[in-house]
Structure 1
């Protein structure tokens, strides 16, 4: 282990292996914790090389492929800092996190280190309650949820927009709406197929805005649906050059940077699109998750069920001027969260 002058920081950067949103939000969280005099211990259990390309790893970072080795290293460290994994959680046990995960966190706090909990979101807030969460999370130096519904269900901590809002070009660098020729569409593979009225609403919006429908898949499992949507709409499926997350990120950002809007039921499709200047239109069989995450950034006005898409298309033009201010504000909030993390980590160095 490192000398006492080096701060040992432990973080699990694992996520769904084919999901670009998972690597993007974790990459931003990871970068927010970087700083001089820190040694990072990164758990990447079972992650493919494709996934890892989406993470800003440094040659000096220590990589662990088993949780046991990672936990053992954390118990041997002096005043370790644990960055509790960001992203969606779906607590199923009576107490979250389970003892095997909470024990290293408690050790970090008890030994003079710290726990950072930043960017968590509940899959279904209505199924959670404050009593379900272990005290160790409440004792964290920073606690921030990525949507108000999750925070309210847990009963503790603050709220800041998802980490993925921090990426993308400055809003002053975006192309103007009148020079964006595309209307991007991306849908989840595991949700009901939209009906003909939804498809007609997409076509109508494309005609109204003089844009061309294209589809993408920032989650590999969504690719067959992207092909089907393109065929149904007379659009074009734009395939990424590879499944490497670095290539996929560049690909979808290039498409979204040319898109007036993005229609999706994927939260991070909408978020990444919004950070590239494409107005997020959330359309889903069950929109509760995407509504919560976009509401944290003040962008939930055009989020709803499939049958609302036609009215959203009508309202799009009036909403376009509000996108840049919303992204600027979201990025400011995320930056403030990063500053709080830096302060908390310096306090135990």
Structure 2
């Protein structure tokens, strides 16, 4: 809610029933399916009630947008039946190639988050970035002393200092513990509101040479502010797909691979700006396609 700017043509519904009634009463509706991660179980996706809403939009001469969605685990799709309405959508675009290939239809474009952040031309050069930012999920295994030592050594080799940040409020205790273990500093936000957190982490990443994380959008937001993303976690498959989608997946892996990534880091650094530039162009193309679909029913 903190991300919405009040506007006279914006109505926010706090109950799905009221929203559904408004959608059903619209002559030619534009229905945008929720973006983000999906975890379809055996059976029908979307569930019949949601699929029926999508079908009504098309039957009424409206537009149906599936864009920016990704499958949590593409290896667990046996028994999943994607509704045909997804194939008939005005725009059907996944957020990574693995999701598209797993589903077997549609196209894909990079995650929406790559379109945010500072212009590449405004990024501080690597030599003027004194920080290494670390942000890790609260609900994953502790990385262990070997990883901690490797991160400390990397910071020394890069002549940087370590700061930890909390990408979301629930990550704050993990960020504090990491700061202590790494000999770094936990950078405290002014507020845990989502809009304030976004400003806070971006300000840190604009000063960071690298962002190290097992949280996908920590890595992506870091990349959009000029901090090279190094993905490190217990199960990095999802973050690997989202970064590979823009050519930044080479330094994503398990905790025990971090030392190798650190050794190869400087050879990969020049790839960041071109990758983000191309990603933003691809998202702009997807955005234009969405506007075309919407304009067709205006």
If the length of structure 2 is used for normalisation, what is the TM-score? 0.98
The answer for the alignment partner of 2:219 in structure 1 is 270
Match in the other structure for 2:21: 72
CA distance in 1, matches of 2:101, 2:79: 9
SS at match of 1:217: coil
Is 1:97 matched up with 2:46? yes
Alignment of 1:81-92 (within 5 A): 81-92=30-41
Q: Is 2:269 the counterpart of 1:320?
A: yes
Q: 2:254 aligns with which of 305, 311, 332?
A: 305
8 A contact 2:131–2:208 mirrored in 1: yes
Give the whole-Å Cα distance in 2 for the aligned partners of 1:221 and 1:103: 35
Displacement of 1:75 in angstroms is 0.7
CA distance in 1, matches of 2:108, 2:195: 29
Cα distance in 1 between the residues matched to 2:243 and 2:255: 17
Secondary structure of the structure 2 residue equivalent to 1:168: coil
2:198 paired with 1:246: no
**2:57 equivalent to 1:108:** yes
> 1:206-251: CA deviations, max 9, x gaps?
0000000000011111110000000000100011111111111110
Distance 1:128 1:205, change over 3 A: same
RMSD of Structure 2 on Structure 1 (CA)? 1.1
Deviation at 1:55, TM superposition (A): 3.2
CA offsets 1:251-305 (integer angstroms, 9 cap, x no match): 0000000000000000000000000000000001000000000011110010000
Alignment of 1:192-207 (within 5 A): 192-207=141-156
Cα distance in 1 between the residues matched to 2:292 and 2:61: 15
Corresponding residue of 2:10: 61
Structure 1 runs, 4 residues or longer, greater than 6 Å off = none
Instruction: Kindly indicate whether the alpha-carbon contact (under 8 Å) linking 1:118 and 1:144 is maintained by their aligned counterparts in 2.
Output: yes
Q: Does 1:332 align with 2:281?
A: yes
Stretches of structure 1 that go unaligned for 5 or more consecutive residues are 1-51
| Residue 179 of structure 1, aligned match among 119, 122, 128 | 128
TM-score (norm 1): 0.84
Q: Size of the alignment, in residue pairs?
A: 298
Deviation at 1:66, TM superposition (A): 0.6
Tell me, yes or no, if the aligned pair for 1:130 and 1:155 is still in contact at 8 Å.
no
Q: C-alpha displacement at 1:104, in angstroms?
A: 1.3
* SS in structure 2 of the partner of residue 322 of structure 1: helix
